[in-house]
Each structure stands twice: as C-alpha cells, then as structure tokens.
Amino acid sequence: MSSAGNVIPLREAAPGGTVTIRLPGPFEMWHGGILPEVRLACETWGKLNAARDNAVLLFPGLSPGPHAASSAENPTPGWWEYMIGPGRPIDTRHYFAVCVNSLGGCFGTTGPASIDPHTREPYRLNFPELAVEDIAASAHGAVEALGIERLHAVVGASLGGMAALAYAMQFPDGLDDLVAISSATRATPFTIALRSLQREIIRNDPEWRSGFYAPGKGPREGMRLARKLGLVSYRSAVEWQQRFARERVKTAAEEQTPFGIEFEIEAYLEHNAQKFVDCFDANAYLYLSRAMDRFDAAEHGGTVEAGLARIQARRTLVIGVETDFLFPMQQQEEIAASLYSLGRNVTFVPLASIHGHDAFLIDRERFAPVMARFFAEA
Amino acid sequence: MSSAGNVIPLREAAPGGTVTIRLPGPFEMWHGGILPEVRLACETWGKLNAARDNAVLLFPGLSPGPHAASSAENPTPGWWEYMIGPGRPIDTRHYFAVCVNSLGGCFGTTGPASIDPHTREPYRLNFPELAVEDIAASAHGAVEALGIERLHAVVGASLGGMAALAYAMQFPDGLDDLVAISSATRATPFTIALRSLQREIIRNDPEWRSGFYAPGKGPREGMRLARKLGLVSYRSAVEWQQRFARERVKTAAEEQTPFGIEFEIEAYLEHNAQKFVDCFDANAYLYLSRAMDRFDAAEHGGTVEAGLARIQARRTLVIGVETDFLFPMQQQEEIAASLYSLGRNVTFVPLASIHGHDAFLIDRERFAPVMARFFAEA
C-alpha cells in the first residue's frame, strides 16, 4: 500500500487538528466484503519526528469520535483530555498522537450512513459486515498514509482495546508498545446479552424502518433507551451510590407524567442519553455493537492463546478496573497471564477505581500516573 | 380486623391448594390511598395445627405468582418447588406454608387490572400508589383471615425479601422467625436505574396507550424487552459463561432478520422473555417495579437502622449471594450487621453461588441445607 498522494498534509504551524485520510484503493473487509473507498476522520496532536518513530495510535471506544483531546484548531475538551497534551501522560512534546475514528462509525469516517459510490445512496444495511479487525486495518492504512512504518505505541480502551489487540495480532511488526485498557479477547455472553438487547431496542423503534430512515432522522427513542442501558453498564453501583444515593429531583416529572422521572439517577440517565441521540448514527451503532459481539482473538490462531501469541510488542501494559462488570478484571488478568506465559514483557495494573468500565475516561488520578510511567519508561 | 366470614375454608382432605381471601372492609394504603376491596390469591401447603402456631408466610418476588410449589390440586411445579413440601426444607409435614400473591400484581390478586367497584372499569393508572408495605399489610390481613395470630416464620427473597422486612417492621409481634434472602432495606440508584429503564421501555411501547390498553392486550413488545433486561440483571456473567459461552444457534435468525439472533444467549433471552409476556399485566409490573424503587426502611423510624430496630423476630436468617449484582452481598451484610448491633439473634449466610440474584430459585444445593437447618433448629 503506497501513501503517495493520500495524505492531507498536517499543518506544521498548528500542532493538532483534524485530517481526513482517504485510503488508496478498495478496502477488503475481514469477513470478505469490499468497500470501494474509505475515508477516515483522524485527529492528531504533537509532531511526527524526523525518524517517524514517535507516533502513538489511539483507538476510540464505541461512542466517541476522533476528538480525544483539544487542539489549537478545536479547543473543545476531548474524551481523553487529561491523557494527551504537553506534559500529560501521552506527552505531545515528545509524541505524535493520532486518533483514528472507527471504520463503520460516523463522525466523518466511512460507515453505513456514507454514500455507496456504486448506488449513490447511503449504504445503510448494505454496508458490508464489520469486524473489529476492519477498524484496526483501516487505522493501519491511515498510519501508512501518514508515512509511519512502525508505531511507538498502540493504545485503546473498551472497543478501542479490542481494536488495539487486533492491531497487534494483525500487524505484529507494526508497533513497539501496546496498551490494552478494560478490553477483551472475545465478548462474554453477558456483554453479548446487553448489546443484543440495545440493538433490539433500536431495531424495535418503528422509526428505524429496517435501517431505511432518512439521513439525520432515525430511531431517536430507541437510541435514547439503548444509550441508557449503555450508561447503566458503563459505570458502577458504588459510584452511583456515592453520587446520587436516593436523592429526588427537585421537580419530579412524575407529577406531569405517570411513572416519570423521580430520582436524580433517572435525571442523570435522561440528560446523558439525550446528548447521545443527536450525535450518533443508529445503523453505525448497530454495526459497531455487533462487531464487538463477534470479536474473537481465536480467529487469529485457532485459540485465544494462539491469537495472542501473534503479538510481538516489546512491552504490553494491561489495565483493568475492579468495578468494571462489562469488561471485568478477570478478562484483563487472562490477557496479561497469556502474554506472560508466552514470555512477553507484560505489565498488569489492576485499579481500584469506583468508576466501572468508564474509569479510563474519568479517573485521572488512577490512570494518569500508570500511563505516564509506561510512556516515560519507553 | 376480624376474620369472621372472610375465609374460604381450606379443604381438609387435600393439603395445599388455591384460596382467594377477601379482606374485610376498605384497605388503607401506606401512602394514603384506599382500596374499597382487596382480594388476595393465595396458595397453601400442609395443615394449620390446632395451636395455630406452625404457619410460614412466603412472599413471592416481582414476577412469580402464589404457586410456589405443587399440590394435589395443582401438580405443576412451583417457583420454589424444592423448598416446600414433605421432607423439604420448609417441611409441610410440620409447617403450614402460605404464599400470598402481591397486592398490585396480577394472578388473581387485586391490582391495576382489577375492576374498580366505583367505576366498574379496570383501575389501570387510577390504582392508588403501591408500596412494599401494602404487600406486607395485605398479606397480614390474609394471615388474620386464616385465623393465625402469630406466624412461625416470614420468608421472602428479592421483592419478597423487602416485603418480609416490611412485615417484620410493621407487625413486630406477628412473627417468630424472619428469613430475608437477597433483599434490601432500600433500593440503590443502580437498581433504580435498571427498573426505571424497564418501565420506560414498557411505557414507550405505543400499545401501552398510557395504561389504557384493552384487558388481555397491552405493550407486549415493551414487556418482552423489559423482561430481557430483567433476565440480564437476575443471573450472572459467570453462569452464562459456563452455560452458553459463545455458542451460536443452529439456525441463525440473522439469516432472515438483520441483526437477528445469532448466539445461544440471545435465543435464551428471547425464549424466556416470550414466556413472560403472556402472563403478566404491564400496569401491574409498573406499579410493583416502582414500589421496589421507593421502598426505604428509613420510613419506619427516620433511619434505616431505626427502621430495622423495630424488628423483634426471635431469630433472623439473612442470605446473600456472591454473584448477585442487583441486591449485592454488601446489602445483606448491612442488614445482618445492623440487626446484630441491635442485639438481635441473626445468622448471616453468604453463598458462593454462580446464579446471581435468581440463585434462590435455582441453587437448591446451596440454599436447601441452609434453610433446612434454620427450620429444623426452630
């Protein structure tokens, strides 16, 4: 794959900013489909050095886009603001950080809402089957397009952690270091149950119209309720006990609506679910969600262990969170133990955070020192 | 409250069977509403002895009816079949077991689907606000109607455990022994979030019609999806990993329906959710679910501890399950610790079951010996 002519040049004057990278030629999907063209929305921070060996690839989770941190171009705080920047754990005075928006998603990357060049219509459900491996391979294409042969590190949490593992299995020579946070080598039936139910709630909304909703429209109620279920699974009972306990809302919607909002926790869910509805394409959500269910490291070698054996990272950091019941600590232990038994240099850090699966987004106090040390020791 | 004339006589020849008990006079609800008449569907097993001191009151959980065990009249296995019967932990050769169907529910007990005698129409959302205390007080009325002044024991799990605690706080002289399994003195924000979302899924189904669906009709899709969410919260990730792992269904519905059923865990949820839809009234579900959110032992004394201090049971057995994330072990520990610090005779049994919140229904091996010993030592 050649990168010639495919890079929208990074502005030297403004470190950080948005680039859209078009991959050269058709893109072959993991399960056999083909995308005639792929555009990837990316953001970058810091500068690629002359040796081109200081790049850190970040994979987002299921719902965020590529805006992981603020930049001169976009000063809005990103989803991993505390992690990326000058003097931060991924220190952009030294590292060139790149966040590639997931293939199959929205936010400017090719996905089910994109126009199929063959039909001039949105792909919708004609988008080919998506795998986590496609997210990894398309990001690899972006990395090549940026003229990077080998990454200093690949980092991801949640779906991003699955993608980071996939990247390291698919392109074993493509990275020095690997960071997998609250990730999984394969989905458990418990998480399949939750995601399957989210998808069914979305599909059950008549406005989904079997995927044929008008652009910008769609199953808003289904997305809102599915997002609430997501939120329930992303945090922890302990955090909510401390934060909300049994506080009532000041003006109970119950007074207007039978069975309406009465407790603060219900208002919190409603507020956060509403924010999500307006910014995520429903079909993209369905594709990404199912890709998580189907991800299985065993596809890389017959067994999970054989799949992980493909990983050749010089160092691997595995982080788990005690209160995460979606990607539980045991799954992180298993990844670390497998790599250790294969003779790899692996550091396993269990964190006693109360913030559940989302801890990497919130618990700066626990995550920042662990990440800073790992990157400083490189 | 007099019991004269309110008992439908138990058939001496057939120990066990269904009785409907009509409470005498209007029933005053915990939050101030009034039901002009209350009928309670009950089932019994064994015989009340001459001293009338061998009765065991059982409270069902949220979804089951009063059919806790089979009987000569109804040989279908009940929801606690292994627990009740001759030679079983609640040994009906010695004890007279009574299961009273929850007020506000369905299965023959007065609830939102019942006819309001004032309007000759179903109550629907005009049913007065329901509290767990009303479930307890109505069962107390049934117990009085059966001519029982003091129960040998009150037993409940989940919502039934809340009702058992409420009973012991409301009628401290009404029982010798108390058994609270996977219960709570108040709902946590995590469980409020889950139940609130279930209720919203039901209310969002257009067939709910703000509660005005025709009898026997209703929000079937909403109930089906809400039940799936219930099932996800009633079991454990460990159990499903052992039972389903990543098994695929033989004929994937995915082939017919985009994003349809593909994994065995999805088929399991679908099968069990379908069973529920046909047998539970949606408005009853909303009322019972919200009663669980609102239950708070602090209403019995200013604080939870002061509420629990009302309990005068001779012995209390508190059972918790390690993998229960809905009514977690810590809540069971707190109940036991509070009663212990009040000088009560309390036994706390934590069980290492993999079956989550539903363990009491499934894990005979762990539950039967604990219950058998508690009842044998009486």
Q: What are the pLDDT digits (tens) for B364-374?
A: 999 999 999 99
Per annotation, catalytic residue among A281, A324, A358, A363: A324
Going by pLDDT thresholds of 50, 70 and 90, the confidence category of residue B326 is very high
- Closest CA in chain A for residue B260: A200
Kindly provide the b/e burial profile for residues A115-152, where b requires at least 16 CB atoms within 10 angstroms of the residue's own CB: ebeeeeebbbeebbebbbbbbbbbbbbbbbbbebeebb
Residues 123-152 of A with CB under 8 A from B: 125
Instruction: Say whether A246 and B194 touch across the interface (CB within 8 A).
Output: no
A306 SS3 class: helix
pLDDT tens figures, A94-116? 999 999 999 999 999 999 999 99
Q: Which homologous superfamily does the CATH classification assign to the domain defined by B17-187+295-376? A: Alpha/Beta hydrolase fold, catalytic domain (3.40.50.1820)
What's the pLDDT score for residue A216?
80
Residues 34-63 of A with CB under 8 A from B: none
Reported as a single tens digit per residue, the pLDDT across A150-174 is 999 999 999 999 999 999 999 999 9
The beta strands (E) that lie in A36-150 are given as 39-45, 55-59, 84-85, 90-91, 96-100, 115-116, 121-122
Rounded CA separation B17/B189 (Å): 39
What are the pLDDT digits (tens) for A27-53? 999 999 999 999 999 999 999 999 999
Query: Is A205 one of the catalytic residues?
Result: no
3-state SS assignment for residue B21: strand
Residues of B in contact with A244 (CB under 8 A): 189
| pLDDT at A333 (0 to 100) | 98
**What residues of B are in contact with residue A194 (Cβ under 8 Å)?**
232
Q: Looking at the predicted structure, is the pLDDT value of residue A7 above 90? A: no
| Opening angle at CA A181, ends A168 and A364, nearest 5 | 140
pLDDT at A251: 77
Residue A228 CA to residue A179 CA, distance in Å, equals: 28
Evaluate if pTM is beyond 0.80.
yes
Q: Which of A158, A182, A233, A353 is catalytic?
A: A158
Contact list in A for residue B188 (CB cut-off 8 A) is 237, 240-241
At A254, is the pLDDT very low, low, confident or very high (cuts 50, 70, 90)? low
A279/B105: higher pLDDT: B105
Question: In B, residues 208-267, which contact A (CB 8 Å cutoff)?
Answer: 210-211, 221, 225, 228-229, 231-232, 236-237, 240-241, 243-246, 258-259, 261-266
- Search chain B and give the residue with CA nearest A325: B237
Average pLDDT of chain B to the nearest whole number:
94
Which region among A250-254, A348-352, B229-233, B283-287 has the lowest average model confidence (pLDDT)?
Answer: A250-254
Nearest by CB to residue B201, choosing from A188, A201, A258, is A201
The pLDDT value recorded for residue A92 is 96
Between chains, do B244 and A186 touch, taking CB under 8 Å as contact? no
Q: Crossing angle for the helix pair A220-234 and B189-204, nearest 10 degrees? A: 160
pLDDT at B3: 39
Q: Quick one: what percent of chain B has pLDDT higher than 90?
A: 90
Nearest alpha carbon to residue B257 among B245, B244, B269, B266: B266
Confidence band for B7, pLDDT divided at 50, 70 and 90: low
Query: Which band of pLDDT confidence, cut at 50, 70 and 90, is reported for residue A15?
Result: low
Structure tokens at A55: 């790049």
pLDDT at B317 over 70: yes
Residues of B with Cβ-Cβ distance to A236 under 8 angstroms? 190
Q: Taking 50 as the threshold, does the pLDDT of residue A19 lie above it? A: yes
In the prediction, which pLDDT does A169 show? 98
Residues whose CB falls within 8 Å of the CB of residue B230, separated by 6 or more in sequence, listed in order: B62, B63, B198
Provide, as residue numbers in chain A, all residues whose Cβ is less than 8 Å from the Cβ of B197. Answer: 225, 228-229, 232, 269
Cross-chain CB nearest to A189 (options B186, B203, B241)? B241
B-contacting residues of A 66-95, CB under 8 Å?
A: none
ipTM above 0.90, yes or no: yes
Catalytic option among B134, B177, B205, B324? B324
Q: What is the pLDDT of residue B252?
A: 64
Residue A11 confidence (pLDDT): 44
By C-alpha distance, the chain B residue nearest A244 is: B189
Q: If you average pLDDT over every residue of chain A, what do you get?
A: 94
Taking the C-alpha atoms of residue B288 and residue B14, their distance in angstroms, rounded to an integer, is 32
Please check the confidence at residue A374 and state whether its pLDDT lies above 80.
yes
Domain ranges across chain A: 17-188+296-376, 190-288
Chain B residues lying within 8 Å of A203, measured CB to CB = 258-259
**Alpha-carbon span A195 to A207, nearest angstrom:** 20
Helix, strand and coil content of chain B, in percent to the nearest 5, comes to 40, 15, 45
- The CATH number of A17-188+296-376 is 3.40.50.1820
Active site residue B324: yes
CB contact, 8 Å: B204 with chain A?
yes
Of all residues in chain B, the one with the smallest CA distance to A241 is: B189
Residue B196 touches partner A, C-beta closer than 8 Å: yes
Sort out which chain A residues have CB atoms less than 8 A from B259's CB and list them. Answer: 199-200, 203, 286, 290
Which CATH architecture fits A190-288? Orthogonal Bundle (1.10)
The reply to whether A158 belongs to the active site is: yes
pLDDT over 80 (residue A255): no
Task: List Cβ neighbours of A304 (8 Å cut-off, separation of 6 or more).
Answer: A185, A186, A296, A297, A298, A338
pLDDT band at A211 (very low <50, low <70, confident <90, very high): very high
pLDDT (0 to 100) of residue B251: 77
Chain B nearest CA to A355, separation (Å): 13
Residue B12 has pLDDT above 50, yes or no: no
At B278 the pLDDT is: 85
Structure tokens of B263? Answer: 């994994």
Binning pLDDT at 50, 70 and 90, where does residue A252 land?
low
Q: How confident is the model over B252-268, as pLDDT tens digits?
A: 665 678 899 999 999 99
Cβ contacts of residue A4 below 8 Å, gap of 6+?
none
Residues 6+ apart with CB under 8 A from B240: A188, A189, A190, A193, B265
Chain B residues in contact with A192 by the CB 8 A cut-off are 246, 263, 265-266
Cβ atoms B304, B338 nearer than 8 A? yes
* Average pLDDT of the residues in B105-109: 93
Among B188, B225, B232, beta carbon nearest to A241: B188
| Distance from C-alpha of A151 to C-alpha of B278, rounded to nearest angstrom | 56
A203 in contact with chain B, both atoms CB, cutoff 8 A: yes
Arithmetic mean of pLDDT, B57-80: 95
A188 to chain B, closest Cα gap in Å: 6
